[in-house]
Amino acid sequence: MRCPFCKGPDTQVVDTRENEEGDSIRRRRRCIACDKRFTTYETVELRMPQVVKQNGMRSEFDEEKLRTSFTRALHKRPVPTELVDAAIDHVTQKVFALGEREIGSRQIGEMVMKELLKLDKVAYIRFASVYKSFQDVGDFSDAIDAVKNTRRRKSDKQ
């Protein structure tokens, strides 16, 4: 670490302390060249992957966009906010856990659809209709049949 005063390349750690939350470390340092002291902080930097859109454009992962998608699909549906927050956290954690530098927007959309299917079937159909660009009533019918089939598979397992 360079000294902020004389720009000397050699510094010595004099004291190290963890903060109360345990998410950062405070270090007191002393410059070998000018003998001045200064403080540095270390924190974990978690980087979400870049989202690659269908047109090839890249953008930062935005949890607010995720929340907006859920909110629109669940508009006027009886789903508690806690469950929505948990679903958003689940998608965010899955994206982060992939450990990739980039993720396709389609892959995120699929994760959202899985979470919506667990939360509310109507919201799932709403989201799927926009996400999959339904063109006619047959597309809706196919999606509804798919929801019915997943419900049957769950009841068969029990």
Which band of pLDDT confidence, cut at 50, 70 and 90, is reported for residue 155? Answer: low
Instruction: Report the domain count for the chain.
Output: 2
- pLDDT band, residue 153 (cuts 50/70/90): low
List 12's β-bridge partners, or say none. Answer: 30
State the Cα–Cα distance between residues 81 and 89, nearest whole angstrom.
12
Q: Give me the residues paired with residue 38 across strands.
A: 29
Task: Please report whether residue 2 resides in a domain.
Answer: no
- The angle that helices 121-131 and 63-73 make with each other, rounded to 10 degrees, is 120
Q: Is 84 a member of any domain?
A: yes
Chain mean pLDDT for the chain: 89
78 and 117 share one domain: yes
Helix axis angle for 81-97 and 63-73, nearest 10°, is 140
Query: Does 4 reside within a domain?
Result: no
- Note whether 67 and 111 are same-domain residues: yes
- For residue 90, is it within any domain? yes
- Which of 85, 87, 100 has the alpha carbon at shortest distance from 51? 100
Same domain, 54 and 130: yes
41 strand-pairing partners: 26
The pTM score is 0.64
Collect all residues with Cβ–Cβ distance below 8 Å to 38 and sequence separation of at least 6.
3, 4, 5, 28, 29, 31
Question: Is residue 153, in this structure, part of any structural domain at all?
Answer: no
Residues 71 and 95 in one domain: yes
Boundaries of domain holding 25: 11-43
User: In this structure, are 63 and 33 located in the same domain?
Assistant: no
| 7-36 pLDDT per residue, tens | 999 999 999 999 888 889 999 999 999 999
| Beta bridge partner(s), residue 49 | none
What is the pLDDT averaged over residues 112-132? 87
Q: Is the pLDDT of residue 146 over 90?
A: no
Is the model's pLDDT at 131 over the cut of 80?
no
Measure the CA–CA gap between 40 and 13, rounded to whole angstroms: 10
Is the domain of 39 the same as that of 54? no
CA distance 83 to 73: 14
Confidence of residue 152 (pLDDT cuts 50, 70, 90): low
pLDDT digits (tens, 9 = 90+) for 55-79: 999 999 999 999 999 999 999 999 9
Are 59 and 105 in a shared domain? yes
